[in-house]
């Protein structure tokens, strides 16, 4: 069966500090991978998606970037965090036109 991991679970970072969130998937190959952010008020915003190694598409211009160095690894980064980067970050995997499966999420608080 497939499993998706995210870490860390929670993170408190000062403004201006760097960020690295990691997501890995087990039990499947060549998945589509996604990063979402969920701000207070519960709506999900798609940040990045990837259909293959090294292929990253950005949905929203912002202070964040993503990379996919391996088939089942997806990394969300920032060089300098802003207060507005606070939120609940969710990684997911899926396939074309089918459901996505979500990780447990990372709660990021920028202070």
Partner 1 sequence: AQSVTQLDSHVSVSEGTPVLLRCNYSSSYSPSLFWYVQHPNKGLQLLLKYTSAATLVKGINGFEAEFKKSETSFHLTKPSAHMSDAAEYFCVVTVYNQEGKLIFGQGTELSVKP
Please report whether residue 71 would count as binding partner 1 according to CB under 8 A.
no
CA dist 101 and 27 (Å) reads 12
CA dist 54 and 70 (Å) reads 8
Among 13, 32, 62, 73, binds partner 1 (CB under 8 A): 32
Please report whether residue 88 would count as binding partner 1 according to CB under 8 A.
yes
Cis peptide before 35 (omega within 30 of 0): no
Q: Outline where the chain has alpha helix (H).
A: none
Q: Give yes or no for a contact between 103 and 80, defined as CB atoms under 8 angstroms apart.
A: no
Question: Please, what is the minimum distance in Å from the beta carbon of residue 19 to partner 1?
Answer: 19
Size of the site for partner 1 (CB under 8 A): 25
Please report whether residue 103 would count as binding partner 1 according to CB under 8 A.
yes
Q: In terms of CB distance, is 69 or 99 closer to partner 1?
A: 99
Give the footprint of partner 1 on this chain (CB under 8 A).
Answer: 6, 32, 42-44, 46, 49, 51, 57, 88, 90, 92, 94-105, 107
């Amino acid at each position: 069966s497939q499993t998706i991991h995210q870490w860390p679970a929670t993170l408190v970072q000062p403004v201006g500090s760097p960020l690295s969130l990691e997501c890995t998937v087990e039990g499947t190959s060549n998945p589509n991978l996604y990063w979402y952010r969920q701000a207070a008020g519960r709506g999900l915003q798609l940040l990045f998606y990837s259909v293959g190694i090294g292929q990253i598409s950005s949905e929203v211009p912002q202070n964040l970037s993503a990379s996919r160095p391996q088939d089942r690894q997806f990394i969300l980064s920032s060089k300098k965090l802003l207060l507005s980067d606070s939120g609940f970050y969710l990684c997911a995997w899926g396939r074309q036109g089918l459901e996505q499966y979500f990780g447990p999420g990372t709660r990021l608080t920028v202070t």
